[in-house]
Amino acid sequence: MSALIDNLNSSVPSLWLEVSAPRGISSTALLTRLAALVDHVDAINLTDNALGKIKMSGLVFGAAIKQQLKIPVVLNMSCRDRNRFALTSDLLGAAAIGIDAIAALTGDKIPPEESGRAIPAHDLDVFGLLKIVAALNRGDTGEGKAALKTIPSIVVGAVANPNRKNIEREFELLERKSVGGARFVITQPIFEAETARRFIAQANQFAIKTVLGILPVKREAMANYLMDRVKDLSGARPHLDRYGGMNEEQVRAFSIKENMALMQSLAGEVAGFNIMSGGGPSLAIELALQFSLWRKEHGT
């Protein structure tokens, strides 16, 4: 049994931190910052060229995290940038270096400024990727023979958006992901408990563990960007509007306070939280450390 899944099955909510790999070839600075999370978080969730921004390979950075920090790694794997051969190869690599879980996702749209230089692959969708994982877990590379009898089982999850207006469609997709083998789901950021509880209840019916996305807001400009540019978060406008007129110090303090209250209110109901870095890890790390201390104190 996977230790990561054991944590998600615990009565104590699991705590993950989402971060992007470095932009260049040096990982020392980011690894130093993430070292503060040792003994505080249960996993690091690595994005996969999120928002179409090129970063170091998650496989390489994930290996460094596991080797140097000994923190479990959940690696996002996007269908946008790889065909089925590349996806299968990376899955084998992830299993070889001991990546703890894969989160299968379609991938963000390529930004308009990159659309003339990059062509999305989309050879597979997320359901096709889940099928590949299931085949590898049976020892089948897709080459017509079972040749991987010694491969460790790949734990796989998916992503979902609790803020979607057509939530019934989101639930239909979630059920298909569960049937396809997803053991957990990482959500887009949530900002209020009612939306979270509605989603958790439905995910529980599909026997899939919910890891709620938590996004600390760093400054008023970030709140405005989320309202104006991220359609998935249109329903969060009442929350994000409250940052209007605040300076950066006030925004950060208010965001920590609001997210701590939200996480505490849901701690007894959800499998875990995934704190998102949103462009830089400083505030996410601060929130993770505060919630970790609260979690240790309250044992819940």
Q: Is the separation of the CB atoms in 224 and 198 below 8 Å?
A: no
The confidence score (pLDDT) of residue 237 equals: 85
The confidence score (pLDDT) of residue 67 equals: 97
Of the candidates 210, 203, 196, 207, the residue with the CA atom closest to the CA atom of residue 162 = 196
Q: Is the separation of the CB atoms in 141 and 147 below 8 Å?
A: yes
Sorting pLDDT into bands at 50, 70 and 90, what band is 19?
very high
The confidence score (pLDDT) of residue 149 equals: 57
User: What percent of the chain lies above the pLDDT cut of 90?
Assistant: 78
Top-level class of domain 3-218+254-298: alpha beta
Instruction: Please write the tens of the pLDDT for every residue from 242-264.
Output: 999 999 999 999 999 999 999 99
Q: Give the chain as a 3 state SS string.
A: CCHHHHHHHCCCCEEEEEECCCCCCCCHHHHHHHHHHCCCCCEEEECCCHHHCCCCCHHHHHHHHHHHCCCCEEEEEECCCCCHHHHHHHHHHHHHHCCCEEEEECCCCCCHHHCCCCCCCCCCCHHHHHHHHHHHHCCECCCCCECCCCCCCCCEEEEECCCCCCHHHHHHHHHHHHHCCCCEEEEEECCCHHHHHHHHHHHHHCCCEEEEEECCCCCHHHHHHHHHHCHHHHHHHHHHHHHCCCCHHHHHHHHHHHHHHHHHHHCCCCCEEEEECCCCCHHHHHHHHHHHHHHHHHCC
The confidence score (pLDDT) of residue 229 equals: 78
The confidence score (pLDDT) of residue 95 equals: 93
| Token pair recorded at residue 271 | 């499998």
The confidence score (pLDDT) of residue 272 equals: 98
Q: What is the mean pLDDT of the chain?
A: 91
The confidence score (pLDDT) of residue 120 equals: 84
The confidence score (pLDDT) of residue 235 equals: 76
Instruction: Please write the tens of the pLDDT for every residue from 93-152.
Output: 999 999 999 999 998 777 666 666 778 888 999 999 999 999 999 887 776 555 555 567
Q: Could you tell me the CA-to-CA distances from 267 to 13, 185, 270 in Å, in that order?
A: 6, 16, 6
pTM of the model: 0.94
Residues 6 or more apart in contact with residue 6 via CB below 8 angstroms: none
The confidence score (pLDDT) of residue 69 equals: 98
Q: Kindly list the domain boundaries of the chain, sorted by start residue.
A: 3-218+254-298
The confidence score (pLDDT) of residue 244 equals: 93
Q: How far apart are CA 184 and CA 181, in angstroms?
A: 9
Sorting pLDDT into bands at 50, 70 and 90, what band is 84?
very high
> For the residues 77-82, what does the mean pLDDT come to?
94
Is 204 or 109 the better-scoring residue by pLDDT? 204
The confidence score (pLDDT) of residue 300 equals: 59
> For the residues 4-18, what does the mean pLDDT come to?
95
Strand partners, 156: 102
Residues 6 or more apart in contact with residue 76 via CB below 8 angstroms: 45, 46, 47, 48, 50, 58, 102, 103, 105, 159
The confidence score (pLDDT) of residue 147 equals: 55
Tokens 């959500």 belong to: 187
Q: Is the separation of the CB atoms in 132 and 180 below 8 Å?
A: no
Sorting pLDDT into bands at 50, 70 and 90, what band is 167?
very high
Q: Could you tell me the CA-to-CA distances from 140 to 75, 234, 297 in Å, in that order?
A: 21, 42, 46
